[in-house]
Homo-oligomer: A and B are copies of this chain.
Amino acid sequence: MSPASDLLAQTLAQPDFHPRLPQQRRLYEAAKAAIHQQLLGAGNKLPSSRDLARDLGISRNTVIAAFEQLGVEGYVTSALGSGTYVADLQAHSASMRGGFHPQQDGAGEDGAEVAPLSRRGQELTVFAAGPRYEIQPFAPGDADFSSFPFKLWQRLQNRVWREARADLLDYGQSGGYLPLRQAITEYLRISRSVKVSVEQVMVTAGTQHSLDLCAQLLADPGDTAWVEDPCYWGARRVFQANDLLLHPITVDGDGMALEPADLATNPRLIYVTPSHQYPTGAVMSLARRRELLDVALTKNAWILEDDYDSEFRYTGRPLAALQGLDTGDRVVYMGTFSKVLYPGIKIGYVVAPPQLVDAFKSALYDLQRPGQLMVQAALADFIALGHFTTHIRKIRQIYGARREMLRRTLVHQLGTHAHGVTISSEESGLHLVVELPAHVDDVALEKLAAESGIQVKALSNYYLAPPVRRGLLVGYAYCTPEKIAYYGRLLASVILSGVRR
C-alpha cells in the first residue's frame, strides 16, 4: 500500500469522519483535508484509481468520480496517461490574487478597484444556484434517468448515423428537424390540447435557451416581467441576465393570484407554470387562466407558459395547457425532453403564436445556431415508433410508487397535520412539498438535513418577495425505495427537531 493510500485509508477508517456521506464524497473529503493539511504535498503523485480502489476496498468508479471532483476544483491535476498529481495550491491562489490588475493610475480615479464583472454579471454570480456536484437523496427536480433505455436509444442512434446524411451534420435550419417537429406537434395536440401547426414548433437546446430567446425577442432591458412567487430559479436567472425588472406575484393554491397592486404594473412578459406550479405544485384554476389571458391581451404582454413536467401526473387525465384556451395569440408555449428522457439531451421546444413564427425562426438561427440534428432524428424515431409513450408510462408508474412511499413514510412519522406540518397531496411532479408552520426556519432545516446527507431545499429560497410560506421540497424520483425508507425516516426526525425547537 502506498503512503497516500495508507493515509486516506486511515482517515476513512475513523468512525466519526462524515459517517452518513456516500463513499465517493468521503474519499473526496479525506483527500481534500490531506491536501489542505499538506499531508499530501504539492506535486505528489496519487496512486492510480485502480490501486487506490483495491487498497481502500471500494469500487474504481467511486475513486474516479472523487478524483474528477478534486480535479474540477483544482486540488489535483492530471496529464493524459501519466497520472494524477497534487496541485500547487499556493501558486494557484497567488495567481488568483495577482492575476487581475485593476488600473491604479491616471484615468482610474482614486485607485478604487474596478469590478471585473458587469452589474448584472455580479448579481448573477452572487445569487448563483451553483452546480450540484453529485445528486444526493431527495434533491428536488431530478428524475431517475438511469431508467433510460440505453440499448434501444443506441440502436436508433446507429440507424441515423449509418445513413451518414451529411445534411444532418449541419446547423438546424428553419426551426429544427422536420419529422421531430411533426412528432412534437402531434404529441402536443393530443396530450396537451395545444393549438398548434408544425410551422409554429421550433426545436431549441432546452428551456433555458427557449427563455433566453423569448426575453431577447420580446423584451428590452428595463422592461418588467411578472414571475410567480415562489418561482423556478432557472427562469429568474435568464430574466436577470437580460436585465428585466422582476415583479413577483404571489402564488396560492390556485396558482398565480393577481392583486390590484400587480395590475398597476405593465409587464412585457408573464412567466407561468400553470399545469404544475414550480415549486409549490399548485394547478392554476380555470378562472385564473381566463383572467390571465385577458390581462395579457389588455396589457399587450406575452405569456410564457413553461409546461416543464406535465407528463408526471399520477392520477387522472393530464391537464390541458393554458395555450389551448388562448384566443388572442398571446401565449408562447414551451416544453422540454430533459425531464422525461435525460437532462443532458438538451432538446426543448417553443410553440410561437403565428404572428411571431418568422421572428422566432430567424432569431433562433441567428443567435443560437441550433444543431444536434442527429440526436433530433433519433428522438423523432423514438417518438414515432411509440417508445416515448411507453417510456412515459413506465417512469410515471415508478415515480408514482415512489411518491406514494415517501408520502406514507413521512405521514407515518409526522402525522397528517401534527405539529402544523402539511404534506402536499397533489398527485404529480417529481417532488413533494412539506409545508411547515410559519415560525420554522426552513433554511436552517435545509442545512440540518444536508448534514445528514439529505439534499432537500427550503421553500423560502424560491421567493423573491419575503416568503409567505415555509417548507421543504423533497424530490423522490431519483431515490430507490430502500433510500426512501431510510432517508425518509431520517428526514422526518430532522423536521421534528426543527418544528419542536
A residues at B contact (CB < 8 Å): 65, 68-69, 71-74, 77-80, 95-96, 99-103, 106-108, 114, 116-121, 124-125, 128-133, 135, 145-146, 148, 150, 153-154, 157-158, 161-162, 164, 166-175, 178-179, 182-183, 186, 197-199, 205-206, 208-209, 212, 216-223, 233-234, 237-238, 241-243, 268, 297-300, 328-329, 338, 342-346, 353-356, 358-359, 361-363, 365-374, 384
- Contacts of A108 on B, CB cut-off 8 Å? 300
Q: Does A371 lie within 8 Å of B354, measured CB to CB?
A: no
- Contacts of A182 on B, CB cut-off 8 Å? 78-80
- Contacts of A169 on B, CB cut-off 8 Å? 145-146, 148, 342-345
- Whole-angstrom distance between the Cβ of A85 and the nearest chain B Cβ: 12
Given contacts A120-B220, A153-B161, A154-B161, contact A107 B171 (CB under 8 A): no
Q: Does A154 lie within 8 Å of B150, measured CB to CB?
A: no
| A304 to B268 CA separation, bound complex (whole angstroms) | 32
Nearest-CB residue, chain B, relative to A106: B298
- Contacts of A367 on B, CB cut-off 8 Å? 124, 208, 212, 237-238, 241
Max chain B Cβ within 10 angstroms of own Cβ: one of A79, A116, A198, A298: A116
- Whole-angstrom distance between the Cβ of A69 and the nearest chain B Cβ: 8
Selected contact of A77 from candidates B179, B197, B299, CB within 8 Å: B197
A-B contact pairs, 15 of them (CB 8 A): A96-B354, A103-B299, A103-B300, A114-B300, A117-B218, A118-B216, A118-B268, A121-B218, A124-B363, A125-B363, A131-B365, A132-B173, A157-B161, A206-B369, A212-B212
Nearest-CB residue, chain B, relative to A133: B173
| A346 to B203 CA separation, bound complex (whole angstroms) | 14
Q: How many copies of the shown chain assemble into the complex?
A: 2
- Contacts of A241 on B, CB cut-off 8 Å? 216, 363, 367
| A344 to B371 CA separation, bound complex (whole angstroms) | 4
| A114 to B268 CA separation, bound complex (whole angstroms) | 12
Selected contact of A178 from candidates B72, B106, B166, CB within 8 Å: B72
Max chain B Cβ within 10 angstroms of own Cβ: one of A175, A206, A367: A367
| A69 to B209 CA separation, bound complex (whole angstroms) | 25
- Contacts of A125 on B, CB cut-off 8 Å? 217, 358-359, 362-363
- Contacts of A145 on B, CB cut-off 8 Å? 166, 169-170
| A223 to B243 CA separation, bound complex (whole angstroms) | 13
